[in-house]
Amino acid sequence: MINPKQYITDNRIKLRGFGSQGEENRKRGDQFMRELIANTSQHPFNNNARIIGNAHVVIEYDGDGVRIKDIQSHEQGSGAGTQALQYLVKLSEKYNVPLNLYAKGYASTKTSQLKNWYKRFGFEPDESGAQEMTRKP
């Protein structure tokens, strides 16, 4: 019988590249997060969100890359979400930090639309074609 905890740990190591690169990855991730915090504002109602232009993002450094948990435009269709993602991609390139996310549509956006939107910015789905996506710098 497979130990679920060990299975998750083993596969996370394979998918995310934790291990020998850990210290260098942590430094780059810290630099990414410091610049993001220095150049954005904290959302007044969500301590985990940063305001980028007319959108807000919820992200976290996950040890090997930056996980984008949410991007929301304050005015749908204004391009603010695109500008926020472009900023994150720029930081990703600058610090050589991968961006990871789970593409799941909600409200008026379908998951397939969201995945296609992320693909335009260089995100690729994992091997299974599921909603987990990564953009390598």
Band the pLDDT of 38: cuts 50, 70, 90.
very high
Distance CA 116, CA 113 (A): 5
The domain ranges of the chain are 14-101
Specify the CATH number for 14-101; select among 3.40.1350, 1.10.10, 3.40.630, 3.40.50: 3.40.630
**Structural element, H or E, at residue 61:** strand 55-61
Nearest to 117 by CA among 78, 90, 85, 88: 85
Between these two residues, 124 and 3, which has the higher pLDDT value? 124
What's the mean per-residue pLDDT of the chain? Answer: 82
Distance CA 90, CA 92 (A): 5
Band the pLDDT of 10: cuts 50, 70, 90.
low
